[in-house]
Amino acid sequence: MIAIVRNKLFIISIFCLTALSIASPAAGQQQLNREHAVGTDSVYEVKQGDTFYSLSRRFSIPVDSLQNWNGTELQAGQTLYLYRTSSRQATAGKEVAKAKAPATGSFPPVTSTTASATPNPKTAAYKTKSRIMVIPFDPYLYFSDADDEIAAHSHVSRPEVRYAFRGRLDALLKPQGYETIHMLGDIYRDSVNELRTVYKTLHYSYQDNKSSRYNPQPVVQVKKKETPLEWAMRQKEKLNISAPESEAVNVAQDASKHYGVEVKDSTFFDYFNTVYAVDYYVFINQFEVKTNYENCLDRAAWNYERDFFVHYSIYNSKGELVSGNKIKVPYQSNINDLQRIVKDNVPSMAKRVLADLPPAQK
């Protein structure tokens, strides 16, 4: 009997030791995984050439979140947090950005035009050819009824759709013969704070289109000989029989108008002309994605026309409006792959915007 009891105790002890040996490595591995995540997956060391946009694409985190968690500065060697930091850290980051940002609606006086010793400098002293400065659209001036479909199909977050259009269009606005200064994601300047200040100095409103290569003004038709229908309508007017009133066209839908921009701060052009010797300023004012359910491309497949609208303004260094217009690029609603949409449409948008830019001076 004693021998049987001893055998049972021995078997039970062996079983317990085996279970512990299996559980311990698993627990240890989980701990290692957590430490690895905290050490590498949750933070990133900023490299030369990184931008908030490129890091947003790499880690699938919206630019807004990265800036809220880390402040708006981005420098090589900086530790970038890829998760929400403590309120103390976030507050500190915002205080730093606030201290370095220029006053609202004004630009700091230029005390020197000497170039700083940074790689790929953009200051006036290094100018070798005509220059344009590209001001991307404010993320708050992006409107779309298709983002949910595109985001779901492309397995990205909704804000990433907006930033994909914004970043790619900005990158392609590089006309031949010009040197382009991008205000979006340029690591050689404090471009984040600069861009934020620029937005505060701008005023947007619907304006009449200015002459454009791709979007000319509607031709005024010369009145021809009166038709019988026109004669009948004129007779009705004489008898006080009014014709039914036509519905007023919404200003946003008016083909002869675009969402234009005006620079309200008088120091804007002086500041950038002096520091960067800019010849022309290309403003992307608004980006719209609209599904046109009145134009069905394939009723059986429920495929409708999806229109992309880009509103833009081009100013010269004197602050004079060179061109202001909007372009429409029709597409189809059944294609929701973000990369394909960007590839198929954005190059055409950039080309048509730059078509209104005067030739570069040699």
Task: Report d(CA 132, CA 268) in Å as an integer.
Answer: 15
Position 176 in a domain? yes
More confident call, 282 vs 69: 282
Position 166 in a domain? yes
Residues 47 and 165 in one domain: no
Position 283 in a domain? yes
Residues 182 and 295 in one domain: yes
Residues 297 and 335 in one domain: yes
Residues 179 and 295 in one domain: yes
Position 199 in a domain? yes
- Contact 108/102 with Cβ under 8 angstroms? yes
The CATH number of the domain holding residue 136 is 3.40.50
Position 5 in a domain? no
What is the domain extent for residue 143? 107-114+122-215+250-354
Question: In this predicted structure, which of 163-172, 192-201, 264-273, 285-294 has the lowest mean pLDDT?
Answer: 192-201
Residues 48 and 168 in one domain: no
Domain closes at, from 50, 65, 100: 100
Task: Report d(CA 169, CA 310) in Å as an integer.
Answer: 10
Position 237 in a domain? no
In this predicted structure, what is the pLDDT of residue 2? Answer: 55
Position 10 in a domain? no
Residues 64 and 205 in one domain: no
- The amino acid at 18: T
Q: How many domains does the chain have?
A: 2
Q: What is the pLDDT of residues 270-286, one digit of tens each?
A: 999 998 899 999 999 99
Q: What is the mean pLDDT of residues 316-322?
A: 93
Q: Is the pLDDT of residue 109 over 90?
A: no
Residues 72 and 198 in one domain: no
Residues 188 and 273 in one domain: yes
In this predicted structure, what is the pLDDT of residue 341? Answer: 95
Q: What is the pLDDT of residues 172-219, one digit of tens each?
A: 999 999 999 888 865 445 566 778 889 999 999 999 998 766 555 544
Sort strands 131-135 and 179-182 into parallel, antiparallel or unpaired.
parallel
Q: What is the mean pLDDT of residues 4-12?
A: 55
Domain closes at, from 66, 100, 134: 100
The fraction of the chain above a pLDDT of 70, given in percent, is 65
The CATH number of the domain holding residue 79 is 3.10.350.10
Q: What is the mean pLDDT of residues 132-156?
A: 93
Residues 93 and 127 in one domain: no
- Contact 151/161 with Cβ under 8 angstroms? yes
pTM for the model stands at 0.64
Position 277 in a domain? yes
Domain closes at, from 67, 100, 133: 100
More confident call, 96 vs 360: 360
Beta-strand ranges (E) seen in the chain are: 43-45, 79-81, 131-135, 142-144, 179-182, 202-208, 257-263, 280-298, 303-316, 321-332
Q: What is the mean pLDDT of residues 39-64?
A: 76
Residues 131 and 86 in one domain: no
Residues 349 and 294 in one domain: yes
Question: In this predicted structure, which of 33-42, 60-69, 225-234, 302-311 has the lowest mean pLDDT?
Answer: 33-42
In this predicted structure, what is the pLDDT of residue 190? Answer: 52
Residues 348 and 285 in one domain: yes
